[in-house]
């Protein structure tokens, strides 16, 4: 079994190195999305299947609300904060609420009888927990009512070229919660371009549904260049989510044009008002 995994990893690395030549990192990180209603609609028309928003975004037009993940990941989120998050999701018909795993059960109870889903983050935000711990956390989150899981890879293992570990880390979560979709957060701002390619290829090989750029708690967020790189690696079959540091409508359009099918942003009030919004919980 170990030999088979080593062969698979070697094949993945060989293929991605053939596909993408090394690129010099410029050390710059992207911005994100300040949005207006028309800009958000153009994002959807360009191919986005979901947008992410923080709490208190205000009323969202009915044609946009069903593609928004209503997100609250700050560590100090209280029951009152979560209750408000869920109430807004119900009122505005958001696709989901996205919360830390410990808050899944509370939110699911708030959403009984509604179509609003619950998304849990796992190994968040560092990704440095063990394979077994991530799988257990993901399993418990699904048992508590999560319908999607966003997991963070072990960045140190990837940078150490322990690709078999990274592959198993992702695959274990995917297998544990199947058929629930798993998004793999690779924290692009901490990786070289070759590492981004390999992380994306490993995510696809492990059966993930999405590759996601960032936690929003790391040293930088999404860039259009990173989104294009990930899209080129995973092809049309997987989703690509650009998240972290998105502040302008122009940035959002660049992400979608580059291949993003979902956009994550804490400045989501821009979707309906075009006015400024403060960052919430590092997302």
Which conformational region is residue 39 in: left (phi greater than 0), alpha (psi within -120 to 50 degrees), or beta? Answer: alpha
Catalytic residue from among 172, 212, 226, 254: 212
**Beta carbons within 8 Å of 274's beta carbon, 6+ residues apart:** 34, 35, 36, 37
Rounded to an integer, what distance in angstroms lies between the CA atom of residue 75 and that of residue 206?
29
Catalytic residue from among 150, 169, 226, 251: 150
Q: Identify the bridge partners of residue 70 per DSSP, sorted by sequence position.
A: 53, 97
Catalytic residue from among 183, 241, 251, 254: 241
How far, CA to CA in Å, does 4 sit from each of 7, 17, 43, 201, 205?
5, 20, 42, 17, 13
Give the orientation angle of helix 2-19 with respect to helix 224-234, to 10 degrees. Answer: 120
User: Is 196 in the active site?
Assistant: no
User: Is 212 in the active site?
Assistant: yes
Given a contact cutoff of 8 angstroms between Cβ atoms, the answer to whether 107 and 90 are in contact is no
User: Is 38 in the active site?
Assistant: no
Burial (Cβ within 10 Å: 0-12, 13-18, ≥19) of residue 141: buried
Catalogue the active-site residues. 150, 212, 241
């Amino acid at each position: 079994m170990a030999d088979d995994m080593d062969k698979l990893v070697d094949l993945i690395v060989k293929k991605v190195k053939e596909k993408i030549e090394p690129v010099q990192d410029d050390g710059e990180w992207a911005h994100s999305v300040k949005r207006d209603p028309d800009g958000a609609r153009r994002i959807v028309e360009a191919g986005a299947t979901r947008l992410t928003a923080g709490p208190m975004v205000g009323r969202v037009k009915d044609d946009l609300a069903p593609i928004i993940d209503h997100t609250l990941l700050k560590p100090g989120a209280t029951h009152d904060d979560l209750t408000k998050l869920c109430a807004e999701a119900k009122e505005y018909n958001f696709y989901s609420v996205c919360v830390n795993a410990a808050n899944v059960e509370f939110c699911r109870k708030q959403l009984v009888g509604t179509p609003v889903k619950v998304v849990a983050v796992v190994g968040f935000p560092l990704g440095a927990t063990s394979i077994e711990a991530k799988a257990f956390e993901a399993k418990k989150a699904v048992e508590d009512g999560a319908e999607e899981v966003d997991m963070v890879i072990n960045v140190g293992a990837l940078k150490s070229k322990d690709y078999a570990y990274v592959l198993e880390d992702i695959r274990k979560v995917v297998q544990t919660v199947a058929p629930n979709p798993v998004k793999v957060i690779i924290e692009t701002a901490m990786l070289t371009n070759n590492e981004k390619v390999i992380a994306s290829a490993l995510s696809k090989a492990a059966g993930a549904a999405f590759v996601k750029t960032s936690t929003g708690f790391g040293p930088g967020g999404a860039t259009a260049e990173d989104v294009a790189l990930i899209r080129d690696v995973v092809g049309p079959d997987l989703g690509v989510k650009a998240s972290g540091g998105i502040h302008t409508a122009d940035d959002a359009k660049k992400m979608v044009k580059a291949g993003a099918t979902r956009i994550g942003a804490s400045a989501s009030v821009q979707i309906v008002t075009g006015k400024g919004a403060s960052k919430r919980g590092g997302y």
